[in-house]
Amino acid sequence: MIVRAALAAVLLAGSAPIALAQEPSQAADSYFVEARADLEARLSTQPTMGRARNIILFIGDGMGVSTLTAARIHQGQLAGQDGESTWTAMDRLPYSALVRTYAHDAQVSDSAPTATAMVAGVKTRNDIIGLDQTATLNDCPGSRGREVQSIFTVAEAAGLRTGVVSTARITHATPAAAYAHVANRDWENSSELPAEAREAGCVDIARQMIEWPHGDGLDVILGGGRSQFLPTAATDPEDTQARGLRDDGRDLVQEWQARHPDGRYVWNATQFADLGADRPVLGLFERDHMEFEAQRASDAGGEPSLTEMTLKALDVLEGGEGYVLMVEAGRIDHAHHLGAAALALGDTVELDRVVAAVMARVDLSDTLVIVTADHSHNFTMAGYPQRGNPILGLVVDVDGDVVEARDGHPYTTLAYANGPGAVIGPRPDPSVADTTALTYQQQALVPLGSASHGGEDVAVRAAGPWAHLFQGTIEQHLIYHVMRHAMTQPEPDDQVSTD
């Protein structure tokens, strides 16, 4: 007994707080002071629970961790600040986790299964949207009965409003996961459907969006992809040399207007600016994908930014019982496929502007905000550049010297493992090019026509009800389950006392 008592005393003594007699010698160091203030802020952060009336899911397509870091520096440098120590709006979200993005059949995913995972809670195969793991590519008859319900279907059944905003075609893989079930993500319009799929009764993605049978349909749809909805006989209103892609003769824009006589269809900046809180709204601002943010001002018909579209979507969605909104910065991915880092970072900075604007507007006591990516890209940030070195520039070391590789040429901080920036033969000298140009293709190792996705984990950041569930390392399909959990919790007044 004496031994046990002595051991207990030792354990209790060891569990007592350690008394710090004096401040460490580095207490006045600026980094030390900053980190201690950050600790105090984190200690005061408390999880929010209760029902999330509203859910906003931001998806930076292809926005891997290297993109987040490079874009943070780029954002700070554009503002004339120290880029390395810049804090973005995404950085300020209090909860985060790493997200595993593999598909049911692939180590490296495309956007179809990753978007399905986020909005429907299951993993599926590459190139497949809104179907479970048993569905196979291009098998239209075999897809029957394998449909999975998205969080948007759940929301409509609960009487909530729903919306999808994207800078990509609205029929592209990520936005399509909100409403479509298809055995090939490329089946965006009738002309893309193989004969056997048509004969089996499969419906293209654009038709599925217009005919979506849940609730009163999507309340707001803003993005690109006009040609997917127009027949081949129709001339595009912005590009009179182009025509629609549908070979079934159907004008789905007119059909949408017939289904929603009180709705508003817009295709240019002037019409968009004239929108109030009209509901529903269909905006198709490009016949294909929308412009990159850095090139948006040159668009012939004019088109809104991602920030403007998102804030307008909130105008439409607010005022009801709640809403679920997906916002995709789709062109980050497209710029990376081109090997054009400047364009990718520009669209990432624009996504951060959207997050900042939304965080300033919503009430985090009842709105769950999630910011993540569907997958990464093979985009690297490497070398030993000095602090403040232009993120799009050549590597200059801490001594102020341009660093040369073994071939005698300098290299840029940003590069790709594969893609169109690679050459067969000697590596070109990047110092003779403007590496900061919007269309400059960063050098790559393996020559491919399009840079491929990356397979490493991506980040998820969150704030609002149940955001604290995003911690550690998670499977991508957990995102759906957190959203569903948050939106189905009882309101405080609905909770039954157990006293």
**pLDDT tens for each residue of 76-113:** 999 999 999 999 999 999 999 999 999 999 999 999 99
Residue 380's alpha-carbon distances to 83, 417, 443, in angstroms, are 17, 7, 11
Query: Is-catalytic flag, 166?
Result: no
Residues 412, 481: one domain? no
Residue 14 — very low, low, confident or very high, per pLDDT cuts 50/70/90? Answer: low
Residues 355, 403: one domain? no
Q: Angle formed by the axes of helices 306-317 and 341-361, to 10°?
A: 30
Q: What is the dihedral of CA 289, 137, 232, 170, to 10 degrees?
A: -30
271 falls within a domain: yes
> Domain tally for the chain?
2
Dihedral of alpha carbons 6, 9, 10, 11, sign: positive
Mean pLDDT across the stretch 383-395?
A: 98
d(CA 454, CA 136): 23
Contacts of 228 (CB under 8 A, 6+ apart): 169, 170, 171, 188, 189, 204, 205, 206, 245, 246, 252
**Which tokens is 131 given?**
């179907």
Residues 439, 317: one domain? no
Is the pLDDT score of 8 beyond 80?
Answer: no
d(CA 225, CA 245): 10
d(CA 456, CA 477): 16
Residue at 164: amino acid letter: V
Residues 95, 157: one domain? yes
Contacts of 241 (CB under 8 A, 6+ apart): none
467 falls within a domain: yes
137 falls within a domain: yes
Contacts of 146 (CB under 8 A, 6+ apart): 131, 132, 134, 135, 181
d(CA 84, CA 155): 40
Is the pLDDT score of 159 beyond 50?
Answer: yes
Residue 145's alpha-carbon distances to 141, 255, 347, 466, in angstroms, are 9, 27, 38, 32
Listed residue (205, 200, 134) closest to 170, CA to CA? 205
Residues 444, 456: one domain? no
Contact (Cβ atoms closer than 8 angstroms) between residue 224 and residue 168: yes
Residues 438, 464: one domain? no
Mean pLDDT across the stretch 27-46?
A: 95
Residues 275, 342: one domain? yes
Which CATH number do you get for residue 310?
3.40.720.10
Is the pLDDT score of 7 beyond 80?
Answer: no
Residues 307, 432: one domain? no
CA angle 476, 480, 483 (to 5 degrees): 130
The predicted model scores a pTM of 0.94
For 118, the 3-state DSSP assignment is helix
| pLDDT on residue 469 | 98
Residues 442, 350: one domain? no
Query: What DSSP element (H or E) covers 160?
Result: none
Range of the domain at 417: 382-451
Is the pLDDT score of 377 beyond 50?
Answer: yes
Q: For the segment 309-360, what is each residue's pLDDT rounded down to a tens digit?
A: 999 999 999 999 999 999 999 999 999 999 999 999 999 999 999 999 999 9
Residues 267, 402: one domain? no
279 falls within a domain: yes
Catalytic residue among 66, 96, 109, 111: 111
**Which tokens is 250 given?**
């159907």
Residues 461, 442: one domain? no
| pLDDT on residue 151 | 98
22 falls within a domain: no
Cα atoms in the 13 Å half-sphere on the side-chain side of 243: 10
66 falls within a domain: yes
Residues 387, 257: one domain? no
% of the chain with per-residue pLDDT over 90: 92
198 falls within a domain: yes
